[in-house]
Amino acid sequence: MGNSLHSLSQLHTFGLAVAAPHIVEFNDISQILQHQCTQSACIILGEGSNTVFTEDFFGEVWVNKLSGITFSEDNAHHYIAVASGENWHNLVANCVERGIAGLENLALIPGTVGAAPIQNIGAYGVEVGQFITCVEFIDLETKTTQQISGVECTFGYRDSIFKHALKDKVFITKVTFTIPKNVAKVTSYGELASLSQPSIRDIYEKVIQIRQQKLPDPKQIGNAGSFFKNPVISISEFKAIQDRYPKMPFYQVSEERVKVPAGWLIDTLGFKGQIVDGIQCHPQQALVLTNKAQGTGTALIAFARQIIADVAMEFGITLEHEVQLLGRLERITL
């Protein structure tokens, strides 16, 4: 491999002009089991849709190319075992083609199947964790293949065991989904509520249409999807803000907690459409930051920190970034 630098701009959807000397592709599990990492850090990439390399990365970049999907069923359930390098949207499209309901609300979420349990990806009232029954992974320290059940993944909002106890310790190789054949369609959320008695294909097509209208295509303009998480705050915090902003949208999460759209907070402060040093807060969706004009990692971090500071000042809410930000050898937390 040598020490020449390889561009990372095609390996992360934000597309910053950065590079790495050590890039390794894995096409099957035996390669992962045999590989000895020579660097002090390594990062596992699927399609790089939730990772931004903010500068040249000097650890090893592992690119997941594991592929394969098997479908089976019994009277009550569909079972789908999927290699972690498969494209997520292709899996959803495949299910819709076969008339398997359940995942259609998660159409067009970028990335690989292996990333889905880490993030517990969710959209339009559905989270993937409810359908995951098994995650297979390689323990990177012992180089053994292991499995945990969906329950053991401790899924939460954009959260799982893979962000805590197993963070940086495993390479997810396969995800198994179990979907009840009588699974209910979810159309209560946002613009899906306008559909009357939709088929799963109707929901799938509507979700794609909404996402394409709201979110920029990374192939056209570099971005990593939603940059910030939607914050969950207490009822008392919420009421204090609502006194000043009666029109603030919200979703009740529990009796004590409320989820507030981060995009609304950012938009209310006038960031939407702003461009700073080549980085733009997207004109249609304030939750998304884009690489509008040859931005840099430094500019992205500075703009994101400005948004976080202003939201904290005005609303008393500290936004967290959903996107994984990488420096020379480690993650950056804003």
Tell me which of 49, 84, 160, 226 is the catalytic residue.
226
Tell me which of 158, 191, 314, 330 is the catalytic residue.
158
E-assigned strand segments in 181-307: 222-226, 232-234, 251-252, 257-259, 275-276, 279-281, 288-291
Tell me which of 55, 152, 237, 322 is the catalytic residue.
322
256 as an active site residue: the answer is no
Q: Tokens in use for 20? A: 């790495």
Residue 97, CB-side half-sphere exposure with 13 Å CA sphere:
7
> What letter does residue 214 receive in the DSSP assignment?
H
- Residue 42 backbone phi and psi in degrees, to 5: -140, 150
Q: Is 54 exposed, middle or buried (0-12, 13-18, 19+ CB in 10 A)?
A: buried
226 as an active site residue: the answer is yes
Contact 194, 207 (CB under 8 A): no
Q: Tokens in use for 240? A: 């204090």
160 as an active site residue: the answer is no
Residues recognised as catalytic? 158, 226, 322
